[in-house]
A = this chain, B = another copy of it.
Amino acid sequence: MEKEKNISFSNTGHFSLDEDIASTRNCENMIGVTQIPLGIAGPLAISSFSSTNQELRTKNYFIPLATTEGALVASVSRGCKAIGESGGADVEVEDVGATRGPVFRVGNMKEGRKLEDFLKNNFSQLQEVAAKTSRHIMLKTYAVSGAGTYRFVRFSFDTKDAMGLNMVTIATTALASYIYEAIHIPCVDISGNFCVDKKPSWLNFIQKRGKAVRAEVIMPASVVGDVLKTTPQKFYDAWLAKCMMGSAMSGSMGFNAQFANILAALFIATGQDPAHVAECSIGMTTTEITSNGDLYVSVHLPDLMVGTVGGGTGLATQKEALELLGVSGGDDGKNAVVLAGIIGAVILAGELSLLASLSQGSLACAHESLARGKVQKL
């Protein structure tokens, strides 16, 4: 692998953390490291890659997954194989923006309108205030909501290749200060759970956050049989029963099979904040059987908070994982978009594999597995 990708895994292979840097930037009172096994899945073929602004170059990717859960890497690899033999996945990334949702307190509705009017009439000034806090940030849009004397403002920022939460906190603090000086309406929480950060929410599902990613593939019935060991119909039935009926009956925001498993492994491997699994795992998988009997499968992730600079992305082993994907460091926002798209495609691979396993779980198989003391990992 080192040779093929022209990357050195000198750090991943042994404890190599620059303790001085990590203990300053990433962790206080640091006593060492936790080690998570890192496996490689793939190759994963992306056949078209569309972002908000551009068509991106496509290629095959080897996928770094840090996990302690056996079978995950093998499961993703199987999904990658199915995608590859189907000609690759199509991926679409919308660069929505990192959001902060401070909460202001007004005296009454009339003062609430004053706040709304101020925001509307001073948007370019607000953009200037935000821009002064970092050369990598731009205020894109905002929205206001609220009840009683609470007014929640959801600021949305372009943060280039950074996931950007620290940047948007600083910018939002400056914005709240500017607003207070101008109209004396105080902010009582810089983060008012209207961001919504690291919590599952319908607001993020509906209005999206970070990157919104879709990935899809059409698999010939023969690939479904040969690689996934199931049929389009069985796959469809397993999907409908679990991802739609089950999630609806349980009041879930996750209409999918295992977004969280894949996200956690990718986030840890590539230095993302694993707490974001709480919000990023919402979303939907869809399937259908095409008119000629093939299987269409898609994933929709409305809320993917990822970056290729800042946070844990600079740590040695994490940086190597990003290099493996070709997206380490900043590139005017493009690296973060590509990372998001790759994640979407890996999520798709994970859904293919798990739903196929569930669908083929005939009771005969179950008997046999039990006899052998083995069982399909979920």
Complex Cα spacing A268 to B277, Å: 13
Q: Is the C-beta of A15 less than 8 angstroms from some C-beta in chain B?
A: yes
Q: With the chains together, A170 CA to B342 CA distance in Å?
A: 33
Most buried by B among A41, A70, A216: A70
Name the B residues within 8 Å of A31 (CB-CB): 1, 9, 12-13, 38-40
A contact face: mostly helix, strand, loop, or mixed:
mixed
1/0 per residue A10-37: CB within 8 Å of B? 1111111100001111111111111111
Is the Cβ of A38 less than 8 Å from the Cβ of B28? Answer: no
CB contact between A363 and one of B16, B40, B187 (< 8 Å): that residue: B187
A233 → chain B closest CB, angstroms? 11
Q: Which of B15, B237, B296, B370 contacts A170 (CB 8 A)?
A: B370
The number of residues on chain A lying at the interface, defined by a beta carbon within 8 Å of a beta carbon of chain B, is 167
Of B64, B150, B169, B253, the residue contacting A378 (CB under 8 A) is: B169
Known A-B contacts A34-B66, A66-B34, A278-B277; A251 and B17 likewise in contact (beta carbons under 8 Å) = no
Cβ proximity bits A284-301 to B, threshold 8 Å, 1 near / 0 not = 101110000000101010
A310 CB to closest chain B CB (Å) equals: 10
**B16 and A35 contacting across the interface, CB-CB below 8 Å:** yes
Is the pair B177, A367 in contact by a Cβ cutoff of 8 Å? yes
Q: How many copies altogether?
A: 4
Contact: A249 with B145, CB < 8 Å? yes
In the complex, chain B residues whose CB is within 8 Å of the CB of A366: 173-174, 176-177
A40 to B287, CA, bound (A): 42
B residues in contact with A279, CB < 8 Å: 260
Q: Tell me, in angstroms, the Cα distance from A110 to B366 when the chains sit together.
A: 27
Residues in B neighbouring A359, C-beta threshold 8 A: 188-189
Does the CB pair A148–B251 fall under 8 Å? no
Contact partner, A36, options B68, B198, B268, Cβ 8 Å: B268
Q: Within the complex, what minimum Cβ distance (angstroms) separates A15 from chain B? A: 4
